[in-house]
Amino acid sequence: MKVLNIIISLVFLIIIISCEEEDPNFKPLKLGTFNIEWLGDSINDRVDRNQEDYELIAEVIKFADFDLVGLQEIENKDALDILMQFLPKYKCYVGRNGSQQNLAVIYKDFIEIKLIGEYMPLSIVRDRHRPGLVLEAKKGNFDWIMMIVHFKASSRWDNTPEKKANSYEIRRKQAEIANRWVDSILNIGKEKDVFLLGDFNETPKRKKNNTIIPLITNKKLHFLTGNLKSCKYKRLYSIDHIVCSESAYQRFQHNSENQINLYSMYDDEQTGKISDHCPIITLFEVRSPDND
């Protein structure tokens, strides 16, 4: 009788494990960030795209197979809706207060999402700088809070020392604000799994005049993508990052940080219609019991 009970227990265990393997909620979380350069709504767009170009962007996202990905440089909901018609397995949300470069999130329909809203303190000057986009999410036994960011760039428009210094100073302030947001979540709330991800317009590897020092030196945070090189400029490090708290880091699958190199997959004309950034991917296990 004992032997029969053991056999029955083993059968049930096999069935449970088999069901979990088939359930996408128990596969590792694929978390990413992707700056889709000036994704417009087909009206006076900075990057002129036709339907085939939007399909190409969707092809990249499907190839990456993200569970959830933070997006930058989305003009508005109309722009994102054009893309979403080619991504039937995903849902989406786009912010409204980033002028022509809003933040957005797309996620598979089995991911649980609670949108918190836009974090306006990151918009140093309203209508010129982008607020963060904050949300809570859950996959399997893993739940977390995250903020998608797009910090101030240093661009060709910074054609004087004063303009360049001003861009650096704004980015420093944004890093300080984002760092305080992380600390407030970890110190005040119950949630210990926290993410910052997006376009930081900076690398933690910069040794001189680094503008994101508060985030780099925060011992509660891990820059998972700090060693990734730029896919466009081979000698430089990536400025797109995924950063997490110590608790979330315990679920991180080491060496899973990667990017989809558009420049090796497509010709120059196609890449120009997709983006001047490459999608970034990280993996996290979701089977362990939640710890907060």
Distances in whole angstroms, Cα of residue 150 to Cα of each of 5, 38, 129, 201, 287:
57, 13, 9, 8, 31
The more confident residue out of 15 and 263 is 263
Give the homologous superfamily in CATH for domain 29-284. Endonuclease/exonuclease/phosphatase (3.60.10.10)
Order of strands, sheet of 68-74, starting from the edge strand that comes earlier in the sequence: 90-94, 102-108, 68-74, 29-39, 280-284, 258-259
Residue burial 131-145, b: 16+ Cβ < 10 Å; e: rest: bbbbbebbbbebbbb
Condensed to tens digits (0 to 9), the pLDDT of residues 230-261 reads: 999 999 999 999 999 999 999 999 999 999 99
The model carries a pTM of 0.91
| Region 95-122 average pLDDT | 97
Residue-level pLDDT at 189? 83
| Region 138-151 average pLDDT | 98
Condensed to tens digits (0 to 9), the pLDDT of residues 17-33 reads: 454 456 888 999 999 99
Condensed to tens digits (0 to 9), the pLDDT of residues 168-183 reads: 999 999 999 999 999 9
Are the CB atoms for 61 and 84 separated by under 8 Å? no
Compute the distance between CA of residue 184 and CA of residue 187 in angstroms, rounded to an integer: 5
